[in-house]
């Protein structure tokens, strides 16, 4: 809407606007769930709904909730495209895959239909993140709908009429990016039995026989039932308008019969409004929120707290999916290759039309998150592993990243010799260690100029008769390095070639798990410039860490623990979603063996568990503070025993009071205080960890950084534990039919980095260190010919941003629409073919530190875009846009809701674009620039 205010109801609607004149109450019916059906059933439903929409212009039309909508559009015949475009123009096209929409989906909808979504429907995730409403606000949305929150909290909110609120999900942005949020009542997104549902969906996904449709004989039964539910629900809300979601999982298989029956019920109610006190209409979310907006009610304000965890009753807590399918969560990193322009790995500028040059990768897959009933893990894994092969540069490459077969790593005219191209996807200089698998114990590593490169070789941790090659590399932002790897043959012993070093090791004997508590009598230190890690000879485990800046030693002892979970025939059982432990966690090992280079704790019989730790020294003459200030740990867990879940519990001497801080979708930290709830306390105190978590006392903070999603908890004072792997299976019909058992007998290899130090130190290290872990350099291995010494030094244009900023997106999107909305809409109306504009560069910057989180990094910063984009040409214009890229910030007027705090209400002209361009409160900003083509010489 041009001025950002919702249009008032008018006589243009085919049905009267409900609830504007008392005593009538307004009942808004939407049908949000048709899109949840799959396959042929979904296709049939869509055809029914599209046909129906031609007869009833107010019907809410959900269309395929899959990220293949652009493909369907391109493959549709001309009349099909016309029908879809007409639905979009009338505002009746609903796509409900949030992750897809936030990526390229918004651009497709805007480019094709001129649609810019403004209302979000996110009712089925288990819990609600405080980051999500902030991101929706940054995307220009005006309303947000959630549902699955803790059952007792929802009950309290219902009784206090608090299900509708203004959510300020970010401490840093607060009211600047607030959003009106509607929490569905106790019936959630499902219809109660007040309307005819035709019918429930059976386990085999076939159409069953329908229930009795609405007719004159049974009309009074449905009307009385509906009135009873309307009256009970009316007490839960502050306005006469009630949103009634019309649908549920695996229901409403026959849309035509459903609409026909509901039409009869709706017509009867509206004809007797004066007697019944209720009116009904089909409505979109936008229509419902507009009705609320013009009530001008002062709404409660919710701060940055989220709604986690989610429990549906005292014994069912939905925290198991945080760690379900851990191996697939780890495979997310493979998808990074799909976001890297392969030309960057060879030092060339991206060609026009290549959509992505650098990208914040965070795969949103139901298979990864462990929240799908479809058996998709294997296809998804194969698709992820095939990404590198989709680019010409990768064709013929024997192996990418860490090869799992050393013999196939390098094969060519010079056996064993290969070229490693290492690309840094971050916008700052990274000093780190990359690991490759080779088939030779002695190799020589040189850079592109022939200079030797520091490297070490050790026996492979996982692959027999192979070796892990660790190479120290320093790479500028968005740049690459070339390394040549050659084996050293025995016949070359008299040569002067500089070979890699082999670390010395000290073997410790096998030690049984001690029960007497006698530990710490003889400690072995392993040091670098920042830490001294002490290993205990009595237990062969880590004992403590000394941190140089604070000159403090903290007891830190990680060990594997196992929860035995309900899940075989119990009424309350663990599954893909639920976590139902039986009692406390028990040690998962009986004995341990350790080496000083890496130490390994294990089960004495089957070697189920292992920990590999690495402490790196700062390179001489280098300012590699991030490398020095982390203890890298890789783990091996599995296969597990049936109905077991394994955690890594780290016990410390920190006095934490059971408090824990974990992140929200990798953005902001949430403080978690321990909740006591009888037998369910363990599961109720688990939270998602997308990237980081920490515990602390007044002097020190221990930070855990992760490369993938996990569950995290603090079950004791000074403790933090991370759920690594789970195998849960039961005989319940529901879980078996819908693939909710997690029959995972795999071995997982997650990675955690540990940071220890004063709060100011770790607050500065955490954001960038977490990004370095999740965006580690991409490594491409290529064959090296006998006459090839590798590429000569090429000219690079490194990108370096201030230390408080992260480059989330740098792309040439190739948009086929004008950045001027009026021009774009006129082009759509004329039906003129659009041409891609390759002069536009999409840039998104993320401020890593929250307000007052760090004395230096939370301060305002200035970015020279000419310098950042000099490799692509000269900047001639800059335009700030919302996260989706489809809105010019200067033209947006979001709705401002009246609050009980007395802030802005209806009619306010204030909008979220009016923030200081250099303000530290700006967490993420998106801009497009126009450039002139750089002259090629």
**What tokens appear for 395 in the block?**
């064709």
**Taking Cα atoms as reference points, which of 372, 129, 376, 370 lies closest to residue 249?**
372
Q: Is 583 exposed, middle or buried (0-12, 13-18, 19+ CB in 10 A)?
A: exposed
Residue in the structure block whose two tokens are 């920490």: 694
Candidates 33, 79, 86, 124; catalytic one: 124
* Euclidean distance between CA atoms 323 and 326, whole angstroms: 6
* Euclidean distance between CA atoms 862 and 847, whole angstroms: 11
The two counts, helices (H) then strands (E), for the chain are 21, 41
CA dihedral in degrees (385, 386, 390, 395; nearest 10)?
A: 90
* Euclidean distance between CA atoms 633 and 556, whole angstroms: 13
How much of the chain is helix, strand and coil, in % rounded to 5? 25, 25, 50
The DSSP code for 260 is H
**CA angle, residues 112, 116, 119, in degrees to nearest 5:** 135
124 catalytically annotated:
yes
> CA dist 520 to 516, 613, 623, Å?
12, 19, 34
Paired with 704 in beta bridges are: 693, 754
Whether the CB-CB separation of 656 and 704 falls below 8 Å is answered with: no
- The SS3 of residue 320 is helix
**What tokens appear for 368 in the block?**
């990864």
DSSP string, 77-126: -HHHHHHHHHHHHTT--B---HHHIIIIIHHHHHHHH-----EEE--SSS
* Euclidean distance between CA atoms 853 and 759, whole angstroms: 10
* Euclidean distance between CA atoms 572 and 567, whole angstroms: 7
DSSP string, 481-513: EEEEEEEPPGGGTTS-PPPPB-----B---EEP
The DSSP code for 912 is T
Paired with 166 in beta bridges are: 180, 301
* Euclidean distance between CA atoms 294 and 535, whole angstroms: 66
- The SS3 of residue 888 is strand
Asked if residue 53 has a cis previous peptide bond (ω within 30° of 0), the answer is no
Bridging pattern class, strands 924-933 and 686-689: unpaired
* Euclidean distance between CA atoms 136 and 177, whole angstroms: 9
* Euclidean distance between CA atoms 806 and 802, whole angstroms: 8
The end-to-end CA distance of the chain, in Å, is 48
Cα diameter, the chain: 104
Whether the CB-CB separation of 874 and 932 falls below 8 Å is answered with: yes
Q: Is 892 exposed, middle or buried (0-12, 13-18, 19+ CB in 10 A)?
A: middle
Residue in the structure block whose two tokens are 């001690």: 514
Paired with 726 in beta bridges are: 645
**What tokens appear for 435 in the block?**
């690991």
Element (H, E) at 340: none
Burial 95-115 (b: 16+ CB within 10 A, else e): bbbbebbbbbbbbbbbbbbbb
Whether the CB-CB separation of 907 and 293 falls below 8 Å is answered with: no
Residues that are catalytic: 124
């Amino acid at each position: 809407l041009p001025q950002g205010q919702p249009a008032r109801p008018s006589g243009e609607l085919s049905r009267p606007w409900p609830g504007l004149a008392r005593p009538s109450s307004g009942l808004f019916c939407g049908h949000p769930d048709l899109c949840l059906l799959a396959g042929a059933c979904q296709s049939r439903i869509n055809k029914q709904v599209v046909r129906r929409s031609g007869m009833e212009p107010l019907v809410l039309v959900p269309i395929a909730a899959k990220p293949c909508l652009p493909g369907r559009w391109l493959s549709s015949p001309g009349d099909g495209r016309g029908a879809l475009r007409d639905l979009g123009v009338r505002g009746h096209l609903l796509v409900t895959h949030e992750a897809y929409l936030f990526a390229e989906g918004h651009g497709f909808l805007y480019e094709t239909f001129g649609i810019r979504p403004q209302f979000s429907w996110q009712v089925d995730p288990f819990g609600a993140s405080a980051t999500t409403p902030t991101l929706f606000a940054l995307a220009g949305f005006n309303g947000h709908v959630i549902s699955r929150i803790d059952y007792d909290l929802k009950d309290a909110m219902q009784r206090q009429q608090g299900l509708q609120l203004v959510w300020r999900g970010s401490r840093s942005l607060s009211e600047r990016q607030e959003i009106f949020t509607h929490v569905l009542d106790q019936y959630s997104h499902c219809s109660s039995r007040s309307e005819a549902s035709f019918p429930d969906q059976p386990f085999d996904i076939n159409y069953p026989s329908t229930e009795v449709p609405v007719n004159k004989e049974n009309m009074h039964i449905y009307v009385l039932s509906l009135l009873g539910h309307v009256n009970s629900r009316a007490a839960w809300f502050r306005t006469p308008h009630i949103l009634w979601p019309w649908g549920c999982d695996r229901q409403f298989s026959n849309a035509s019969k459903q609409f026909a029956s509901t039409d009869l019920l709706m017509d009867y109610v509206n004809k007797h409004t004066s007697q019944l006190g209720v009116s009904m209409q089909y409505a979109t979310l936008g229509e419902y929120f507009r009705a609320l907006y013009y009530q001008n009610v002062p709404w409660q304000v919710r701060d940055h707290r989220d709604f986690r965890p989610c429990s549906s009753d005292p014994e069912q807590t939905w925290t198991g999916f945080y760690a379900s399918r851990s191996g697939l969560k780890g495979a997310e990193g493979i998808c990074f290759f799909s976001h890297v322009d392969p030309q960057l790995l060879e030092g060339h500028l991206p060609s026009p039309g290549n959509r992505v040059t650098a990208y914040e990768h965070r795969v949103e897959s139901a298979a990864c998150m462990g929240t799908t009933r479809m058996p998709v893990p294997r296809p998804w894994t194969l698709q992820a592993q095939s990404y590198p092969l989709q680019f010409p540069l990768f064709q013929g490459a024997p192996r990418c990243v860490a090869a799992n077969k050393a013999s196939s790593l390098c094969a060519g005219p010079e056996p064993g010799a290969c070229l490693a191209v290492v690309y840094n996807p971050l916008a700052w200089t990274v000093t780190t260690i990359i690991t490759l698998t080779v088939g030779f114990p002695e190799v020589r590593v040189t850079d592109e100029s022939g200079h030797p490169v520091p490297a070490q070789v050790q026996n492979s941790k996982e692959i027999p008769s192979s070796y892990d090659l660790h190479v120290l590399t320093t790479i500028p932002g968005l740049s690459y390095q070339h390394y040549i790897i050659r084996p050293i043959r025995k016949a070359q012993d008299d040569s002067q070639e500089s070979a890699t070093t082999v670390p010395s090791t000290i073997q410790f004997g096998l030690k049984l798990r001690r029960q007497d508590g006698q530990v710490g009598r003889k400690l072995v230190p392993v040091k670098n410039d920042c830490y001294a890690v002490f290993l205990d000879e009595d237990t062969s485990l880590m004992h403590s860490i000394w941190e140089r800046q604070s000159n403090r030693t903290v007891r830190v002892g990680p060990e594997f623990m196992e929860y035995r979970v309900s899940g075989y025939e119990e009424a309350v059982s663990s599954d893909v979603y639920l976590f139902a432990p039986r009692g406390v966690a028990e040690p998962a090992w009986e004995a341990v063996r350790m080496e000083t280079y890496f130490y390994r704790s294990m089960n004495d019989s089957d070697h189920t568990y292992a920990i590999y730790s690495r402490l790196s020294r700062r390179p001489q003459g280098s300012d590699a503070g991030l490398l020095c200030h982390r203890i890298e740990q890789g783990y091996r867990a599995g296969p597990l025993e049936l109905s077991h879940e394994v955690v890594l519990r780290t016990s410390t001497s920190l006095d934490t009071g059971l408090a824990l801080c974990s992140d929200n979708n990798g953005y902001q930290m949430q403080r978690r205080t321990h909740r006591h709830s009888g037998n369910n306390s363990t599961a109720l105190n688990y939270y998602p960890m997308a990237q980081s978590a920490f515990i602390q006392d007044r002097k020190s903070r221990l930070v855990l950084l992760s490369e993938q999603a996990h569950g995290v908890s603090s079950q004791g004072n000074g403790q933090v534990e991370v759920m690594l792997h789970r195998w849960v299976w039961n005989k319940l019909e529901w879980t078996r039919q819908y693939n909710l058992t997690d029959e995972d007998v795999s071995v997982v290899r997650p990675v955690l980095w540990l940071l220890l130090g004063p709060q100011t130190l770790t607050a500065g290290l955490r954001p960038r260190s977490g990004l370095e872990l999740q965006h580690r350099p991409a490594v491409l291995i290529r064959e090296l010919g006998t006459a090839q010494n590798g590429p000569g030094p090429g000219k690079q244009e490194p990108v370096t941003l201030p230390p408080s900023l992260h480059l989330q997106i740098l792309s040439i999107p190739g948009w086929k629409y004008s950045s001027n909305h009026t021009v774009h809409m006129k082009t759509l109306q004329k039906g003129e073919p659009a041409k891609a504009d390759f002069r536009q560069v999409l840039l998104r910057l993320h401020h890593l530190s929250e307000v007052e989180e760090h004395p230096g990094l939370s301060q305002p910063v200035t970015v020279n875009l000419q310098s950042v984009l000099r490799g692509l040409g000269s900047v001639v214009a800059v335009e700030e846009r919302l996260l989706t890229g489809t809105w010019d910030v200067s033209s947006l007027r979001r709705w401002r809701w009246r609050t009980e705090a007395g802030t802005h209400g209806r009619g306010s002209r204030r909008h979220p674009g009016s923030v200081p361009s250099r303000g530290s409160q700006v967490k993420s900003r998106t801009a497009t620039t126009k450039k002139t083509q750089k002259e090629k010489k």
